Amino acid sequence: MRCAIYARVSTDRQGESVDHQVSLLREFAKRKGADWEVLDHLIFEDEGISATKTSIWTRPAMRRLMEAAEKSEVDVVLFKGISRLARNTQEALDVLDRLRARGLRVLSYEESYDSAKENSNFMFTMHAAIAEYEAEKIGVRVRLGNKEKAKSGRWVGGTPPDGYRVGSDGHLVPDEARAPLIHAIFSRYALDGVSCAAIARELNARGEKTSAGNPFSQTAVARILDNEVYAGHLIYNRRTDRTVRDYDSDVPGKKKERRMPNARTDWVVVHGAHPSLVPQGLIQMAQMRRGRARRQAPRTRHLLTGILACGCCHAPMIAQVKRSKKRIYRYYVCRTYHHAGRRACAQASVPAEALESYVFTRLSERLREVGIPALAQVVKSARVKESERIKRARERVDAQLARLTEAWIAAQTDDVLASQAASIRTRIARLTAERDALFARMAQDEARRDESVHEIYARLVDLAQDEPAMSRYWLRMFIASLVMRDRTLLIQYTFSSSGDTPIHGNV
């Protein structure tokens, strides 16, 4: 009897080690008889993995156990308790069914469960349900305890916000080394009118790092400005992290964390819970500007995003918009430079309209040079690729709709899934709309097939005059990539070799 041992210890229960479980199960197998042998290569340990948050099918040791079972390398599987196997009844039963389907015998030490006994499935189901209920009970107790802790003004959670540390009494206290940096960020934003991206570049140029040791980014600065903790307020339970099944995933039963907003009545708000790092007036000025910046966030579609890259650091070049009272300025900037400043990448920004006009002009010239035969070959290849892309997208959407439909049907009778019914219904509606859009694209693609290459060639006299969506379509058909280095643009066409093309001074 070749015995395998599966042991797991969760992130919130480190007191019970996997070594203890393995030692206990070795002794258990020894008492069964001399022919029960625990082989060293058949000991599978998942350490520091929560059964509540992690799907059983994504655990490394469980995957190796299943591979050994498929290769018929094991006869018996031992585990200390059903709660070590899974904290979800459905997952526990799925594992049991898969192991038994391969002819394996399954034993649990704590519950005295043995799959070789008659009518054992009922007892296994009962114990699995109890393990799931216990996990839910532990979660409720932890949440209630954290709520009471927050009500007293103590910090709840992991790493404290940048500029603070956790004192001996559990309250936040200013970190004297980091507090001036936080104050400077608010001052630069609220008083000097400097953007989040520019502040991040300034900090990185001085060699500053976040409390986690990373370079500052636009997002990191924005999160500091939006955090009420710097005014001395503690807000807890604004959102709840819920573990849900990802029905769009190709991995069966995969779980993911979803942050769900809670009603304001459930929030714990404690004013003056700890010393503030920034004066109230400065915080109010920053909040007013943050609100205005969010309302004015540009939603312009830019023609070269997705194919334009930086030649210095190979990062994508992204589009930025600046507004004045008289006009809107668009330009392309290296993403590395945008997030981390000039020290990270020296590539200069490029005016968007001039660059787009230059690309279209050069493309039109090149298409005239290669003529209709080369154009016909490119169009034919592009049409085939587009059809394949639409077909793959439709197959993906159909598969997701099938999984969600099954989940919706199950939600009508399953109390656990019932709470997710509204979310499942919303996603079904979204995917149905996506599928309808794909059918429309298929119809457009069929109509486009009847258009002759001569007609297409006639339209390419001035590509830039097309509507933006069509202009993007032509660009992606005929241009494989654009690489900007200093003032030189490298254009890689889909129908000929690339060449360095200098950008003139007016760009």
For residue 5, give the nearest of 58, 34, 46 by alpha carbon.
Answer: 46
Where in the chain do CATH 3.90.1750.20 domains reside? 164-233+271-295
Distance of alpha carbon 221 from alpha carbon 200, whole angstroms: 7
Distance of alpha carbon 171 from alpha carbon 153, whole angstroms: 6
Q: Catalytic residue at 481?
A: no
Query: pLDDT tens per residue, the chain (507 residues)?
Result: 889 988 888 765 455 678 888 888 988 888 888 788 888 888 888 887 776 667 777 788 888 888 888 888 899 999 888 888 777 787 888 888 888 888 889 898 888 888 888 777 788 888 888 887 887 787 778 788 888 888 899 998 778 999 999 998 999 999 999 999 999 999 888 888 888 888 998 999 999 999 888 999 888 999 999 888 998 999 888 777 766 555 555 555 565 666 677 777 788 888 889 999 988 878 888 887 776 555 554 444 678 888 899 999 989 999 888 877 777 788 999 988 887 777 788 888 899 888 988 888 888 788 777 766 666 766 777 677 777 777 888 888 888 777 777 767 766 665 544 556 666 777 777 778 777 777 766 666 665 554 555 555 555 555 545 555 566 767 777 788 899 998 889 998 877 644 555 554 444
Where in the chain do CATH 3.40.50.1390 domains reside? 2-143
- Alpha helices by DSSP H, listed for 320-452, are 335-340, 352-411, 415-418, 421-449
Q: Residue 91 in contact with residue 97, Cβ under 8 Å?
A: no
Tokens of 446: 């069929």
Tokens of 373: 């035969």
Could you tell me which residues come within 8 angstroms of residue 431 by beta carbon, excluding any fewer than 6 positions away? 397, 400, 401, 404
Fold classified for 164-233+271-295? Hect, E3 ligase catalytic domain fold (3.90.1750)
DSSP string, 51-93: TTTS-GGG-HHHHHHHHHHHTT--SEEEES-HHHH-SSHHHHH
One CATH from 2.40.50.140, 3.40.50.1390, 3.40.50.2300, 3.40.50.150 for 2-143: 3.40.50.1390
